[in-house]
Amino acid sequence: MSAGHVITHIEATGSAEGEAAEATAPQVGVITLNRPEKRNALNAAIATAVAEAVRTHTAAGVRAILIRGEGPVFCAGADLSGGVYADDFWSAMEDMLSAIQTTPVPVIADIHGPAVGAGCQIALACDLRVFADKGACWVPVAEHGFALDLWTHARARELMGGALARNVFLAGARVSADQARATGFSVVLDDATPNATAFAHRVARQAPLSMEHSKRVFNSPDMHADAELQQMMVDVWASEDVQEARRARAEHRPPQFRGR
Q: DSSP letters of 86-110?
A: STTHHHHHHHHHHHHHHSSS-EEEE
> Does residue 17 register a pLDDT over 50?
no
* Lowest-confidence region among 49-63, 72-86, 155-169, 170-184: 72-86
pLDDT of 167:
96
Q: What is the reported pLDDT for 23? A: 54
Contact indicator for 145, 133 with CB cutoff of 8 Å: no
Q: Report how far residue 197's alpha carbon sits from residue 159's, in angstroms, rounded to the nearest whole number.
A: 22
Average pLDDT, the chain: 89
Contact 67, 101 (CB under 8 A): no
pTM of the model: 0.90
What is the tally of structural domains in the chain?
2
Say what the alpha-carbon torsion angle 2, 186, 207, 30 is, to the nearest 10 degrees: 10
Is 257 inside a domain boundary?
A: no
Detail the DSSP E strand segments found in the chain: 2-3, 6-12, 27-33, 64-69, 107-111, 114-116, 128-131, 136-138, 175-176
Instruction: Mark whether 195 and 212 lie in a shared domain.
Output: no
- Mean pLDDT for the stretch of residues 14-21: 49
- Lowest mean pLDDT, pick from 113-122, 166-175, 248-257: 248-257
pLDDT for position 15: 44
Half-sphere exposure of 11 (CA within 13 A, CB side): 19
Q: Is residue 181 located within the same domain as residue 54? A: yes
Residues 231 and 172 in one domain: no
Residue 122: name the closest of 77, 160, 173 by CA. Answer: 77
Residue 16 has pLDDT above 50, yes or no: no
Phi, psi for 109 (deg, rounded to 5): -100, 125
User: Could you tell me if residue 260 is inside a domain?
Assistant: no
CATH of the domain at 73: 3.90.226.10
Tell whether 101 and 56 lie within a shared domain.
Answer: yes
Containing domain of residue 230, as a range? 208-251
Q: Is residue 76 predicted with pLDDT exceeding 80?
A: yes
* Domain presence at residue 241: yes
* pLDDT, tens only, 116-156: 999 999 999 999 999 999 999 999 999 888 889 999 999 99
Residue 3: its pLDDT value, please? Answer: 56
The Cα 88–Cα 253 span in angstroms is 50
Is the Cβ–Cβ distance between 138 and 156 less than 8 Å?
Answer: no
Residues 55-74, mean pLDDT to the nearest whole number: 97
pLDDT of residue 151: 94
Tens of pLDDT, residues 34-56: 999 999 999 999 999 999 999 99
Q: Is the dihedral of CA 151, 202, 64, 239 positive or negative?
A: negative
Q: Using alpha carbons, select from 228, 202, 210 the residue that is nearest to residue 25.
A: 202
* Separation between Cα atoms, residue 84 and residue 150, nearest integer Å: 18
Output DSSP code: residue 140. -
- Whether 258 is in a domain gets the answer no
Amino acid 192: pLDDT: 86
Cα separation, 79 vs 89, in Å, equals 10
